[in-house]
Structure 1
């Protein structure tokens, strides 16, 4: 049994008059010469518990050391609160200082801190209301992902983090090596000899678990991966990380329509789970979102509150259109005719976020799934449609964020797949094992990828992806 009570449980307790012991960090201390009011939080809830200390009962040194950031243990009696914020508080009988916090140097004081400043002290961010809420929601969302797939008969497959293949063909990968970079072994031609490396070949950190996920689906039927992925893209936007987490289900015997059905059901389940299980944290973030929006220019503000936006996704069946239909809508829009799109619109382009958001927020006013993209802008493994121009790809678009899920029916035809690989210069000898699944008992199958941090951005209403992961990895930033 724990030697103390979690604050979230104490705040829900109606055992007035009982003895409790809590441990946590001091958020604030106020009072007068007779009584001190100490707000304590242990990370189990966004709500602090108020500790009331009779100054006469405690020595001056102990009270002096109770400063913002200090870690304390408090034992006392649970009493009905006199304030409006909570039902109960603790009448302190004993206070022990577990860890001092120098009041002059502790960087988290009772004032508003910018998110930029908090990124510089990421080791202390979890102690703030905003990041405490975000990281509790991150846990709940991860748990919900596993729960959903387990409930629906999927198996969790651990795909490799170190890989010799580039699933996306992007080439922006982090190299993994044990070679001496000051004096690497060389081939007779003068290039680095990776046969001398740990794995006997050139290896990298993975950008996706999809290809290996397909191998699992070809034997287990329904699998999903959920793990870290890496991309060495020198991008400092609010939407990119060098290290991020991906959820990638792969399903045997699923066509593109089954894939769309699963994606919609999955994402609605996650939103519903967070709203039902993180109500206090979501209420706090909803209020924060409102303040952020009010500070923006009128034409840049969101038309919906945070919780309202999430409910909007739950309440609407996702609109399903083809890429060609999407282009026609954009070309016919007043937005396009008045030159309000920053990027040009024509058949064959990769849709930009502004195009995707227009379709969701202005035209359909609901989430949208687009299918049938031009094959030239999509990966080699996507199933080619009979028209010879498009592939059975799908992107799920959300308000405020644009694309949140990308997926496709996979090409199961060996001849078509190898031909596409030749066209896109994907080496067959490296992916011989992938091609084997098309030789030995191939079948139609589909899958998609959901960026975990992208989903976190949508659910929490945060504006920067660096603020939904505990320790962000971005260009020139690996401090913590």
Structure 2
């Protein structure tokens, strides 16, 4: 009877001793002597390797010579209890078939520690490493958990457009989409590029957010969420920025700001708990990897909590809910501000908070996750609901940001401005053309209602859950300035 390939994760879990199995995977390492070879085999299904025990007399020396790091092999044999330390089971090989050789002279992933910078240069091979195998399995688990969370609560997944003629944030840093000949673009009578001859007959871009279209869907379906790629043409090379990244954006009819905060807190706790429950082996590996890195850091650079402690910190603490005004007072009177330790000093109400301020509030002052709300209108987007009865010069909007340790802002959202006249006035202030947004304004004319939503940067979530320090290491193929290699 033909054997079906068994996944290593299943064999390590069920340990069917004395049963003949077929495994296939990539060789991590090979060691041994003339009499026996020990091969660490991994097939991507788990962080753990399966030890293959190969007798040169059974397998053949010529075959074993081709079993090098990076080679792909198939192994048949009967699973046995391990005679050595470090694993409970092993597979004495009856047959080894070389599926794909890896030249040991040129294979880049030799069995040694590689820097993340080097691994980004060979992003096509880094899924084979233990660290990136763990990250990508966690990325999958978080994707599944996001859909499960919303499905359990009756939300509908909506696919919003990737190509758009609107700029949801008013940022202006967008990638243009065109079919025009860039060497000889058509011109109109004024000498400007004639976009009427372009595919969509108007200037279009890659989207920065699915929010605005998500709002339209929520006005008929009640509660929806989008989960898709978004794009920013921001020329930034920091460890927190990507040109292409994924956003989770729920939009809910009949939700006010408090409902929005309740959902965001439940959502984040659900995702972190899901990771703890379903990614234990990968998280333990990443936790230990981070502890090894901590040994080389200066005392002031060391983290106060381990990765696993930070994750449990989220699920075991209620989030503090603090107004922007309260936060400004805390920051203004804080020691780092008074001693000028902040890079950006807090002086006046209306300042846009930086990551250093957000992390101080979470890690030093409140010592738990924080939801800041009611921000100054002047530093927030046009679509956020304006609060009534505000002091002149200190007008606020019903915005909220969720702040996490080590990350700062992980979610940004608001109650949306549902009043037609107030929205138009705000668009005029922000110089946003109403004629291009007629469809958005229509929802405020026909059956308007209070509604809210937020955005979670998926890679920011993954930075927190995996403990990685650079956002380029939690997405398979990062898109950054001057880099679209793979």
Sort the TM-score into its range (normalised by shorter chain): over 0.9
1:347 — aligned with what?
349
Maintained 8 Å contact 2:82/2:89: yes
Maintained 8 Å contact 1:11/1:86: no
Mapped to 1, the partners of 2:15 and 2:172 lie a distance apart of: 59
Gaps of 5+ in 2: none
2:434 — aligned with what?
428
**Secondary structure at the residue paired with 2:143?**
helix
Q: How does 1:311-350 map to 2 (within 5 A)?
A: 311-345=312-346, 346-350=348-352
Is 1:419 the counterpart of 2:420? The answer is: no
1:206-238 Cα offsets, whole Å, 9 max, x none, are 000000000000000000000000000000000
2:407 — aligned with what?
401
1:383-422 Cα offsets, whole Å, 9 max, x none, are 0001340000000000001000000000000000000000
**Secondary structure at the residue paired with 2:135?**
helix
1:294 — aligned with what?
295
Mapped to 1, the partners of 2:462 and 2:211 lie a distance apart of: 21
Please report the TM-score for the alignment, with normalisation by the length of structure 1: 0.99
Mapped to 1, the partners of 2:69 and 2:448 lie a distance apart of: 62
Maintained 8 Å contact 1:20/1:78: yes
Maintained 8 Å contact 1:259/1:408: yes
Gaps of 5+ in 1: none
Moved more, 339-348 or 461-470: 339-348
Mapped to 1, the partners of 2:79 and 2:95 lie a distance apart of: 13
**Secondary structure at the residue paired with 1:404?**
strand
1:39 — aligned with what?
40
Mapped to 2, the partners of 1:293 and 1:375 lie a distance apart of: 41
1:359 — aligned with what?
361
**Number of matched residues?**
480
Maintained 8 Å contact 1:162/1:204: yes
**Secondary structure at the residue paired with 1:429?**
helix
1:252 — aligned with what?
253
1:220 — aligned with what?
221
Is 1:48 the counterpart of 2:49? The answer is: yes
1:391 — aligned with what?
397
1:379 — aligned with what?
381
Partner residue of 2:470 out of 459, 464, 473: 464
How much does 1:333 deviate?
A: 1.0
Maintained 8 Å contact 2:323/2:375: yes
Maintained 8 Å contact 1:7/1:22: yes
RMSD: 0.9
1:12 — aligned with what?
13
Is 1:143 the counterpart of 2:149? The answer is: no
1:207 — aligned with what?
208
